[in-house]
Amino acid sequence: MTVVRVLVGTQKGGFILTSDGARKDWKVEGPLFGGWEIYHMAGSPADPDRIYTSQSTGWFGQLIQRSDDGGRTWNPAGNEFAYASETGTHQWYDGTPHPWEFARVWHLEPSATDPDTVYAGVEDAALFKTTDGAATWTELPGLRTQDSGPKWQPGAGGMCVHTVLIDPVDPDRLHVAISAAGVFRSDDEGKTWSPANHGLHSEGIPESEAEVGHCVHRITRHPSRPDVLFMQKHWDVMRSDDRGGTWREISGNLPSDFGFPIAVHAHEPDTVYVVPITSDSQHYPPEGKLRVYRSRTGGDEWEPLTKGLPQSDCYLNVLRDAMAVDDLDDCGLYFGTTGGQVYGSSDSGDTWAPIVRDLPRVLSVEVQTVP
């Protein structure tokens, strides 16, 4: 029997929401690691029982937890994230040089084929990799030492690698996104990197079409079409058809093109979802209506999905890593809010229902479809 497992990271612990293929009745387990910030929980596509969790607090630093039994039991794994070389400086908020300092792991991206191999995107911006099931982590320093590194500057949440994409056809090809530096890509398994921001236009930076400095909030792709990338930027929803070589805007008729998450339907590569947010200074939905917008045309034309979502007095946010899709034939979508709700849809977004309403602030949502 198929099991759908939704992994929810919150500001005060992790939660696992489980259902069968019908996705009507849910079991809520947690909090795991109660009181800790869980920036991300991610299951291995190669072994769904293997789950990795990024656990941290300002008091006790960074931990990584690993489960080998689908989240029933956990063991602390390696938590030493040492930069591999002289760290140098990036720009601080006031433009002065600031030394690279490790703060936390934002995102864990397990390999599609090896449960022991995982990439970790961290703050201050760098990419780490484990090949021994998270016992040890090694930095891939070519990203941090990329020529433009000294120009990178943190976004309000910190200077983080928040997105890591592994090409489903050629796993040597990687993309990362950094707030607020932009997208970078590597064709050699992370040894060398180059900016991939051509076509982005950002107000609020000195040179609006600069090579780096764009506040990219999230990038994603459909596994059947590795060359096509979708992006939710600080402002603007964007698309690239050449692996990030060039980008074009696809915001179309969205009520606001500001937002954080972006997701692609599991079986329809041109069906894309975003959650419009009013503005960079008003992090809540326009008009107090929580609406997911869906494009079935790969962008430009968007329709609001509202059935089951609050359409008045709703002033929460959906963070960049807090929306995911399952792999069932009737594609399911899930997103978590800063108000602690996790909403689910089992019909590609046509209708929604809350799975759980009163969790702590949701930082991340991932889904496992377990056969």
> Applying CB under 8 A, which residues contact other proteins?
35-36, 57-63, 76, 79-80, 82, 102
> CA-CA distances (angstroms) from residue 157 to 55, 107, 170?
17, 14, 32
Q: Which is nearer to other proteins, 83 or 152 (CB)?
A: 83
Q: How many residues does the chain have?
A: 371
Note if the bond before 22 is cis, omega within 30 degrees. no
Q: Which is nearer to other proteins, 101 or 280 (CB)?
A: 101
Could you tell me which of 170, 169, 67, 187 has the C-alpha nearest to residue 115? 67
Structure tokens at 241: 């058809």
Minimum distance of other proteins from residue 62's CB (angstroms): 7
Minimum distance of other proteins from residue 148's CB (angstroms): 25
Minimum distance of other proteins from residue 11's CB (angstroms): 11
Q: Which is nearer to other proteins, 35 or 245 (CB)?
A: 35
Q: How far apart are CA 19 and CA 362, in angstroms?
A: 19
Q: Which is nearer to other proteins, 58 or 95 (CB)?
A: 58
Minimum distance of other proteins from residue 290's CB (angstroms): 26
Q: How far apart are CA 241 and CA 76, in angstroms?
A: 40
Query: Are residues 200 and 219 in contact, defined by beta-carbon separation less than 8 angstroms?
Result: no
Could you tell me which of 98, 105, 101, 117 has the C-alpha nearest to residue 172? 117
Q: Which is nearer to other proteins, 76 or 150 (CB)?
A: 76
Query: Are residues 237 and 299 in contact, defined by beta-carbon separation less than 8 angstroms?
Result: yes
- The sign of the torsion formed by the CA atoms of 54, 57, 62, 66 equals negative
Minimum distance of other proteins from residue 36's CB (angstroms): 7
Minimum distance of other proteins from residue 261's CB (angstroms): 27
Q: Which is nearer to other proteins, 158 or 171 (CB)?
A: 158
Residue that the structure tokens 């990362």 belong to = 176
Minimum distance of other proteins from residue 118's CB (angstroms): 18
Minimum distance of other proteins from residue 308's CB (angstroms): 33
Q: Which is nearer to other proteins, 3 or 63 (CB)?
A: 63
Q: Annotate 174-238 with DSSP letters as a single string.
A: EEEEEETTEEEEESSTTSS-EE--TT---TTSSSTT-SS---EEEEE--TT-TT-EEEEESB-EE
